[in-house]
Structure 1
Amino acid sequence: MKTIKMEVTGGCQCGAVRYHTDRMLDNAHLCHCRMCQKAMGNIFAALAATPNGALKWTRGEPAVFQSSDFAERGFCAQCGTPLFYNSLDNDRINLTIGSMDHPEDFPPHNQMGTQSRVSWFANIAALEEADFPEDTAMKAANRQHPDHDTQEWPPKRS
């Protein structure tokens, strides 16, 4: 597995937990196993690893659930955002691609746990695209942390 020198930041939806790394491994992948489905509350986990020593928590720290004798999963205790999967027997931590500020930088190279892949997964690309109105009221009420580091969060409201 190749190590790539690059700056990666990310964090949870509410901004209570943020992270930074300057190295990533070339292992972006999807996991369809039932444990990942449950942990993500979704049909798969999208993950990419960084070496353990390279990851720094820059705001707050994640809560951790040991999901098996072999692995633990990190998440924000305030908003519930899944942040990582960590195999306890290696020297890397797999960050959730969706928690990264630039998830588009990590297209998956492979998938695993396919015995639990939902039957309709293969048809996702063919789904009809529905309109999603982004009205002014929704934007004004948004409490989601932006996709970049901030000095202070949440912002002071006037």
Structure 2
Amino acid sequence: MKKITGSCLCDTVRFECDDSIESFHLCHCTQCQKVTGSAHASNLFTAASNIQWLKGSASIKRYNVPGRTISNAFCAKCGSALPYVSLSGKALVIPAGCLDVAPDIQPSSHIFYAERAPWLESASDCLKYDSTPK
């Protein structure tokens, strides 16, 4: 089976997993907006055991949101989001942005869409640039 790899921004933490991603959801809940600092989290889901830490696992920190099933795992050095096993222990949640290459799977759903950022709809009408505008 094909392997996929990923890391944090500073490359302190690296991991790999089998490319057996079960689902890909864009989560718009208010907690994911806070965690990402953006409109939504882009999370891949696979079996909880489907990860091998290649380096830096001691640098991973985790925050469990009280009263919710959401967590946030991140590099203690650069703060980048990293994979974590769900609180139920049933799934590995992989932030899509920490992968070295784009996954083969496409997002299948927007979840908690009722909580989406109020400006999200109008963002599709914004100008689009390939880099920072001058």
Normalised by the length of structure 1, the TM-score is: 0.72
C-alpha RMSD over aligned residues = 1.9
Q: SS of the residue aligned with 2:5?
A: strand
Number of residue pairs matched by the alignment: 129
**Aligned counterpart for 2:28 among listed residues 32, 36, 56:** 32
Q: Distance in 2 between matches of 1:19 and 1:34?
A: 28
Query: Is the 8 Å Cα contact of residues 21 and 105 (structure 2) preserved in structure 1?
Result: no
Query: Is the 8 Å Cα contact of residues 24 and 50 (structure 1) preserved in structure 2?
Result: yes
Question: Where in structure 1 do 4 or more consecutive aligned residues deviate above 6 Å?
Answer: none
Query: Is the 8 Å Cα contact of residues 73 and 86 (structure 1) preserved in structure 2?
Result: no
Structure 2 residue 40 is the aligned partner of structure 1 residue 44: yes
Partner of 2:62: 64
Query: Is the 8 Å Cα contact of residues 3 and 16 (structure 2) preserved in structure 1?
Result: yes
Deviation at 1:49, TM superposition (A): 1.5
* Structure 1: segments with no counterpart, 5+ residues: 134-158
Structural mapping, 1:66-85, within 5 Å = 66-69=64-67, 70-84=69-83
| Matching residue's letter, 1:101 | D
Q: Distance in 2 between matches of 1:129 and 1:45?
A: 21
Query: Is the 8 Å Cα contact of residues 74 and 83 (structure 1) preserved in structure 2?
Result: yes
Q: SS of the residue aligned with 1:42?
A: coil
Q: Distance in 2 between matches of 1:86 and 1:68?
A: 16
Q: 1:83/1:59 Cα in 2 relative to 1: closer, same or farther (>3 Å)?
A: same
Deviation at 1:54, TM superposition (A): 1.6
Q: 1:54/1:130 Cα in 2 relative to 1: closer, same or farther (>3 Å)?
A: closer
Structure 2 residue 109 is the aligned partner of structure 1 residue 117: no
Deviation at 1:23, TM superposition (A): 4.0
Q: SS of the residue aligned with 1:123?
A: helix
Greater Cα radius of gyration, structure 1 or 2:
1
Choose between structure 1 and 2: higher helix proportion: 1
> In the TM superposition, what whole-angstrom CA distance separates every residue of 1:16-52 from its partner, at most 9, and x where no partner exists?
0111001433311100000111111111000001212
Q: 1:104/1:129 Cα in 2 relative to 1: closer, same or farther (>3 Å)?
A: farther
Share of identical aligned residues, percent? 28
* Structure 2: segments with no counterpart, 5+ residues: none
Structure 2 residue 95 is the aligned partner of structure 1 residue 96: yes
